Amino acid sequence: MKAGIVGLPNVGKSTLFNCLSSAKAQAANFPFCTIDAQLGQVSVPDERLTRLAEIVKPGRIVPAVCDIVDIAGLVKGASKGEGLGNQFLANIRECDAIIHVLRCFDDSGIVHVDGSVDPVRDKEIIDMELQLKDLETLENRAKRVEKAARVGGDKAAKIEMDVIDAYRKALLEGKSARTVTFDTEDETAAAKSLFLLTAKPVLYVCNVDDKSASTGNVHTERVAEAIKDEDAEMLVISAQTEADIAELETYEEKHMFLEDMGLSESGCNRLIKAIYSLLTLQTFITAGEMEVKAWTFRKGWKAPQCAGVIHTDFEKGFIRAEVIKYDDYIKYGSEAAVREAGKMGVEGKEYVVQDGDIMHFRFNV
């Protein structure tokens, strides 16, 4: 699963990417500093792993990870190929979610591609370019299915055409595809098959100055008002503050820095958790002497699917899952104590795994 960081040039995308990942994308004060999309892998902060490790004392802790892509800045006209438009849009299409960075700080020393700071205008520029590309996609698809839907009596084609019409109506009103919902599984499947850019989940990241990192500012208030009717989330972060934190070597130094800023947790940690949630991902845990490890699964998956995350044989030969709730493990202090207290669940194929479940799978192949 990949989340793409997008935005206009010079809004702080690469600075944020550098803070999130070990990769070092070039960050400089001129448009199109980032040309090729860059991939970084980030660990998902999870305090539960540390707590469990204190009890189990494993050889290592292995957190969950997710992929972040730093995508070149987009400009007006990208849907028609302006700037790096074609490359930009292709990179977004390959991502599962969009992290839309908006400049919400005033600094005359940093160039803005449109000459002034206006995050709502910036948001609308990118929204419009993605919507125009989606309209183009819908028009091309409609040419292929309209005749079969209107004349040929093809049921699947008619469902797809109805979906196309619903999306076109919303896009022509300046709304993104993710604002459109469908009632049936067939419609939902047809919608997914279109792979629209504006159907992807989005998180707006308001990049503010240091002083606004804990409180936000007038720019972030305008963004919050602008997205209130969207199915989207918003996060306030100072990318420069995060860059300063990243330079500190010890946990104590970072903790003191955050306290001075009035923050309880770094913006990067909050952002990674938000991305993980945006991708509808959750974590189950295995805990043993060798390692305490977080495994990523899609929310709503059942036990055999989660077993398959560890190894395909686990899913093929699934017998049952032994499940301990995280709070119970912490309360009783060991797996043996949990068993003795009768708090270990034995679950079958229909069990829907919950975030934080500590799992042991029984299988036979």
Per-residue pLDDT, 32: 33
Question: Which residues have C-beta within 8 Å of that of residue 50, sequence separation ≥ 6?
Answer: 61
Q: Could you tell me the end-to-end alpha-carbon distance of the chain, in angstroms, rounded to an integer? A: 29
Separation between Cα atoms, residue 311 and residue 139, nearest integer Å = 42
Find which of 37-51, 84-98, 294-308 is predicted with most confidence, using mean pLDDT. Answer: 294-308
Site of tokens 């995050």:
119
Least confident stretch, 126-130, 222-226, 293-297: 126-130
Computed over every residue of the chain, the mean pLDDT equals 85
Least confident stretch, 16-30, 188-202, 240-254, 331-345: 16-30
Pairing relation of β-strands 318-324 and 38-43? unpaired
Per-residue pLDDT, 84: 44
Separation between Cα atoms, residue 101 and residue 161, nearest integer Å = 34
Residues 178-208: tens digit of each pLDDT: 889 898 999 999 999 999 999 999 999 999 9
Residues 264-278: what's their mean pLDDT?
Answer: 85
Q: Is the pLDDT of residue 148 over 90?
A: no
Question: Which residues have C-beta within 8 Å of that of residue 271, sequence separation ≥ 6?
Answer: 16, 20, 99, 203, 205, 235, 237
Q: Is the pLDDT of residue 23 over 80?
A: no
Contact in structure between 43 and 163 (CB atoms under 8 Å): no
Q: Is the pLDDT of residue 25 over 60?
A: no
Q: Is the pLDDT of residue 231 over 70?
A: yes
Helix/strand/coil percent split, the chain, to 5 = 45, 20, 35
Site of tokens 């079958």:
348
Contact in structure between 26 and 119 (CB atoms under 8 Å): no
Q: Which residue has the higher pLDDT, 114 or 160?
A: 160
pTM for this prediction = 0.80
Separation between Cα atoms, residue 180 and residue 134, nearest integer Å = 13
Separation between Cα atoms, residue 352 and residue 365, nearest integer Å = 23
Q: In the structure encoding, which two tokens stand for residue 112, read together?
A: 């803005």
Least confident stretch, 114-128, 192-206, 215-229: 114-128
Q: Which residue, among 135, 203, 197, has the nearest Cα to 165 in the 3D structure? A: 135
Other C-beta atoms closer than 10 Å to the C-beta of 147 total 13
Q: Which residue has the higher pLDDT, 215 or 307?
A: 307
Separation between Cα atoms, residue 292 and residue 63, nearest integer Å = 8
Phi-psi region of 363 (alpha: psi -120 to 50; beta: other; left: phi over 0): beta
Per-residue pLDDT, 213: 85
Q: Is the pLDDT of residue 266 over 90?
A: no
Q: Collapsing DSSP states into helix, strand and coil, what is residue 234? A: strand
Q: Which residue, among 307, 334, 335, 310, has the nearest Cα to 321 in the 3D structure? A: 307
Separation between Cα atoms, residue 91 and residue 357, nearest integer Å = 34
Q: Which helix (H) or strand (E) holds 329?
A: helix 326-332
Contact in structure between 319 and 274 (CB atoms under 8 Å): no
Per-residue pLDDT, 171: 94
CA 162 from chain center: how many Å?
A: 29
Give strand pairing partners of 100.
Answer: 6, 204
Q: Is the pLDDT of residue 75 over 60?
A: no
**pLDDT over 90, % of the chain:** 49
Q: Is 266 exposed, middle or buried (0-12, 13-18, 19+ CB in 10 A)?
A: buried
Residues 267-279: what's their mean pLDDT?
Answer: 86
Question: Which residues have C-beta within 8 Å of that of residue 256, sequence separation ≥ 6?
Answer: none
**pLDDT over 70, % of the chain:** 88
Contact in structure between 38 and 23 (CB atoms under 8 Å): yes
Per-residue pLDDT, 286: 96
Residues 316-365: tens digit of each pLDDT: 999 999 999 999 999 999 999 999 999 999 999 999 999 999 999 999 97
Separation between Cα atoms, residue 322 and residue 286, nearest integer Å = 11
Q: In the structure encoding, which two tokens stand for residue 316, read together?
A: 């093929």
Residue 89 binned pLDDT confidence (cut-offs 50, 70, 90): confident
Least confident stretch, 19-28, 114-123, 354-363: 19-28
